[in-house]
């Protein structure tokens, strides 16, 4: 969208009073470069600023916003003390733009630069983050949202983006320097102690201020390296309109919205007719109040709006289960379960030596991979255009948000039973001991990561690749 059109929409919004407008794109121009660097930012309300790593001196990094079909050209400059890359989570990019070290490109050494260039075919809410040492670089603050606008955006009064994450901070507000511990690799991951919304500590003081009967679109990204969220908007029943960037039939949220690492959801939230304050909770674990929804002022319109329209679907090839080839993917390991047999980088090893010599905890199809030595056999070789069903068998006591690069897939079976309503995902939560069938058409040529998005699990062996040729 041109800057002029953005300005037009904004001024139209100011003038139109109660009329419903398409979601107004943010006015900030899309930056042409991302500089990954080290700086300080206020995360907690009190005390010292926190030393963070981020893009363009901000956590989260700048919102990258494109029209559908627009070419994204982003120059990455590495000003970190480590090599890095950027991966465009969920965006169907050409393989060489996918940002995976040792698979699609060499990691950028400190002070190196690289230009990413790809066309944005699919509308929706996506995000970007490094794929190099992601168990450290992401929780230090390297992530940002990427949005591709619909040709006809959903009519709402306002649009908000919440990049959710967590920081593990000491009493001095500085990050606890305990990245890469084997105990985190093999358990629930390195969990932060400070949930953040757009880089600021969550809590009752984070206020989402609405007017009665106002309608907002809330784009949610879980950029946490390990934390799974379960969001509860008390006193409200938002509509789920999109999951992982793909429109779904609008449905009211009847239970807390579970978002594993890497997952996204777009909600349409109606403020309700009255005034008042409502807590927004993360219901996982002991529960954390993350924000306050405050409703006050003169009503935006006379009454609450009804069901929002559906977002137009992206063009994704529908898998035909009758002709699909069948594949298996078995996960084993973790501190509560030892892999039965195992390999590291293609060489057979006994399990004890996997754990001890490499700090690895997990296997996928009896093989553990780690990102610095991808001397590996791909999990699957697929022909371009092949219709595929992968039966994932979680033989562990842990949840795993599983992410496939370069494709969207549908969950078509759970614990041996077919799934009725199929939605597109790029990242799916697997419960402990669950069996899940996912289906997709392998139409994007290249070698694609298939890994757990608990980034400590990925570093602990839970990553592999799928080759489409």
Residue closer to Cu ion (CB basis): 271 or 438? 438
Taking contact as CB under 5 A, which single stretch among the options 282-290, 334-342, 397-405, 442-450 is the one that binds Cu ion? 397-405
Among 257, 452, 455, 459, binds Cu ion (CB under 5 A): 452
Size of the site for Cu ion (CB under 5 A): 4
Contact 99, 88 (CB under 8 A): yes
H helices then E strands: how many in the chain?
5, 37
Residue closer to Cu ion (CB basis): 412 or 454? 454
Taking contact as CB under 5 A, which single stretch among the options 19-27, 167-175, 393-401, 414-422 is the one that binds Cu ion? 393-401
Q: Sheet harboring 113-119: ordered strands across?
A: 50-55, 33-41, 71-78, 113-119
Taking contact as CB under 5 A, which single stretch among the options 60-68, 100-108, 229-237, 456-464 is the one that binds Cu ion? 456-464
Does 392 sit near Cu ion (CB under 5 A)?
Answer: no
Taking contact as CB under 5 A, which single stretch among the options 14-22, 66-74, 195-203, 450-458 is the one that binds Cu ion? 450-458
- Closest-CA residue to 407 (of 388, 392, 426, 391): 426
Rounded least distance, CB 161 to Cu ion, Å: 26
Residue closer to Cu ion (CB basis): 387 or 453? 453
Rounded least distance, CB 299 to Cu ion, Å: 46
Contact 192, 222 (CB under 8 A): no
Does 454 sit near Cu ion (CB under 5 A)?
Answer: yes
Residues 99-128 that bind Cu ion (CB under 5 A): none
Among 457, 461, 463, 466, binds Cu ion (CB under 5 A): 457
Question: What SS3 state is found at 96?
Answer: helix
Residue closer to Cu ion (CB basis): 120 or 137? 137
Does 400 sit near Cu ion (CB under 5 A)?
Answer: yes
Does 210 sit near Cu ion (CB under 5 A)?
Answer: no
Looking at residue 44, the DSSP 8-state letter turns out to be S
Rounded least distance, CB 407 to Cu ion, Å: 19
Taking contact as CB under 5 A, which single stretch among the options 155-163, 214-222, 417-425, 445-453 is the one that binds Cu ion? 445-453
Q: CA–CA separation, 430 vs 409, rounded Å?
A: 14
Angle at 390 between CA 389 and CA 394, to 5 degrees: 150
First to last CA, the chain: 35
Taking contact as CB under 5 A, which single stretch among the options 56-64, 101-109, 156-164, 398-406 is the one that binds Cu ion? 398-406
On the question of a cis peptide bond just before residue 60, with omega within 30 degrees of 0, the verdict is: yes
Segments in 189-276 forming alpha helices (H) = none
Taking contact as CB under 5 A, which single stretch among the options 173-181, 250-258, 317-325, 455-463 is the one that binds Cu ion? 455-463
In 3-state terms the chain splits into helix, strand, coil percentages (rounded to 5) of 10, 45, 50
Residues 133-162 that bind Cu ion (CB under 5 A): none
Rounded least distance, CB 414 to Cu ion, Å: 18
Looking at residue 84, the DSSP 8-state letter turns out to be B
Rounded least distance, CB 454 to Cu ion, Å: 4
Rounded least distance, CB 147 to Cu ion, Å: 27
Residue closer to Cu ion (CB basis): 187 or 242? 187
Burial of 152 (0-12, 13-18, 19+ CB in 10 A): exposed
Residue closer to Cu ion (CB basis): 127 or 362? 362
C-alpha distances (whole Å) from 459 to each of 185, 221, 222, 407, 455 are: 7, 21, 19, 22, 6
CA 61 to mean position of chain CA atoms: 14
Contact 299, 211 (CB under 8 A): yes
Q: CA–CA separation, 232 vs 379, rounded Å?
A: 37
Torsion 66-68-74-80 (CA) sign: positive
Residues 355-384 that bind Cu ion (CB under 5 A): none
Does 215 sit near Cu ion (CB under 5 A)?
Answer: no
Residues 43-72 that bind Cu ion (CB under 5 A): none
Residue closer to Cu ion (CB basis): 373 or 431? 431
Phi, psi dihedral angles at 463 (to 5 degrees)? -145, 150
Tell me which residues touch Cu ion (CB under 5 A).
400, 452, 454, 457
């Amino acid at each position: 969208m041109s800057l002029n059109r953005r300005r037009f929409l904004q001024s139209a919004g100011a003038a139109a009073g109660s009329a419903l407008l398409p979601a107004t794109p943010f006015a900030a121009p899309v930056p042409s470069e991302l500089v990954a660097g080290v700086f300080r930012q206020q995360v907690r309300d009190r005390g010292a600023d926190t030393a963070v790593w981020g893009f363009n001196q901000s956590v989260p990094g700048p919102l990258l916003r494109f029209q559908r079909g627009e070419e994204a050209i982003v120059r990455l400059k590495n000003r970190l003390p480590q090599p890095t890359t950027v991966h465009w989570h969920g965006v169907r990019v050409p393989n060489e733009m996918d940002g995976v070290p040792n698979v699609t490109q060499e990691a950028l050494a400190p002070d190196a630069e690289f230009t990413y260039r790809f066309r944005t075919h699919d509308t929706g809410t996506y995000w970007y983050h490094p794929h190099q040492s992601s168990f450290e670089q992401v929780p230090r603050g390297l992530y940002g949202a990427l949005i591709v606008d619909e040709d006809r955006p959903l009519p709402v009064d306002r649009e908000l983006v919440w990049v959710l994450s967590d920081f593990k901070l000491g009493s001095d507000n500085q990050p606890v320097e305990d990245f890469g511990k084997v105990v985190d690799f093999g358990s629930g991951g390195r969990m932060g102690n400070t949930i953040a919304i757009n880089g600021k500590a969550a809590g009752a003081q984070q206020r989402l201020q609405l007017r009665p009967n106002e309608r907002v679109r809330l784009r949610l990204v879980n950029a946490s390296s390990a934390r799974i969220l379960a969001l509860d908007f008390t006193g409200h029943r938002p509509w789920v309109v999109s999951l992982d960037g793909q429109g779904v039939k609008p449905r009211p949220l009847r239970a807390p919205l579970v978002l594993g690492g890497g997952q996204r959801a777009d909600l349409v939230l109606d403020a309700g007719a009255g005034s008042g304050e409502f807590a927004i909770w993360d219901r996982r674990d002991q529960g954390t109040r993350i924000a306050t929804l405050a409703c006050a002022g003169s009503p935006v319109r006379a009454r609450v709006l009804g069901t929002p329209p559906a977002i137009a679907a992206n063009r994704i090839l529908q898998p035909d289960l009758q002709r699909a080839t069948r594949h298996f993917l078995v996960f084993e390991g973790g501190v509560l379960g030892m892999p039965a047999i195992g390999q590291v980088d293609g060489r057979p090893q006994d399990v004890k030596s996997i754990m001890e010599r490499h700090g690895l905890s997990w296997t996928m199809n009896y093989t553990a991979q780690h990102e610095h030595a991808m001397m590996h056999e791909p999990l699957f070789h697929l022909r371009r255009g092949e219709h595929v069903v992968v039966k994932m068998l979680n033989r562990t006591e842990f949840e795993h948000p599983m992410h496939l690069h370069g494709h969207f897939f549908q969950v078509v079976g759970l614990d041996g039973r077919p799934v009725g309503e199929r939605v597109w995902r790029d990242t799916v939560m697997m419960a402990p001991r669950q069996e899940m069938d996912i289906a997709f058409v392998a139409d994007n040529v290249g070698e694609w990561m298939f890994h757990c998005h608990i980034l400590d699990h990925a570093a602990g062996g839970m990553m592999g690749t799928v080759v489409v040729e």
